[in-house]
Amino acid sequence: MTRVDFYVLPTSTLHERRVLACKLTEKAWRQGVNVYIHTSSGTETDIMNNLLWTFRQGSFIPHEKSSAPLADREDMVVLIGHGNPPESFRDLVINLSSDKPPLFEEFQRVAELVDEDESVRTEGRKRYQAYKHQGCQLETHKLDENQR
């Protein structure tokens, strides 16, 4: 059964959601977990590709876009993309899209990032209900200013 963690930020900026995605990715990467960051578009993929190198001073998370040639991504444990994840990536998907990530039910965990923006919350509630309907294990983490 897939576990879905909803992280609720006290802000309403896309940048804060992206930075949280980087922090969750770094934590998972340090634990040896394969991470697929699911974005909404090629532009969003490029933004996350850059942000993983720069989100904080001294950050280093080896990663690649899922569209890169296989030889460039075969040893990576962190991939970013807006399509179906590679078959070998089924540990954690971090969702930055307004839709459920493709093949989410094949992952051990899904991280959904929601903030105070009304449209983001509305879409997050829809995804929550959809995951619940599909029998996923749901957890909600309300983050405060110090946890983001």
pLDDT digits (tens, 9 = 90+) for 112-131: 999 999 999 999 999 999 99
Residue 147 lies in a domain: no
CA angle (121 as vertex; 117, 123 as ends), nearest 5? 120
Pull the structure tokens for residue 83. 């399509």
Residue 42 sits in a domain of what CATH number? 3.40.50.10110
Q: For residue range 10-20, what is the model confidence (pLDDT) as tens digits?
A: 999 999 999 99
Tokens 């996923």 — which residue?
136
Q: What domain range includes position 9?
A: 3-142
Is pTM beyond 0.85? Reply is: yes
Residue 40 belongs to a domain = yes
> Would you state the pLDDT for residue 26?
96
In sequence order, what are the residues at sequence separation of 6 or more whose Cβ sits closer than 8 angstroms to the Cβ of residue 85?
36, 38, 66, 79, 93, 101, 102, 103
Q: How many domains does the chain have?
A: 1
Residue 148 lies in a domain: no
**Distances in whole angstroms, Cα of residue 80 to Cα of each of 35, 74, 95:** 8, 13, 10
User: How many Cβ atoms from other residues are within 10 Å of residue 132's Cβ?
Assistant: 12
Q: Collapse the DSSP code of 2 into the 3-class scheme (helix H, G, I; strand E, B; otherwise coil) and give the result.
A: coil
Report yes or no on 53 lying in a domain: yes
Q: Across residues 1-9, what is the average pLDDT?
A: 97
- Please determine, for residue 72, whether its predicted confidence score (pLDDT) is greater than 90: no
Q: Is the pLDDT of residue 37 over 70?
A: yes
Residues 64, 104 contacting (CB under 8 angstroms): no
Picking from 123, 130, 92, the residue whose alpha carbon sits closest to that of residue 3 is: 92
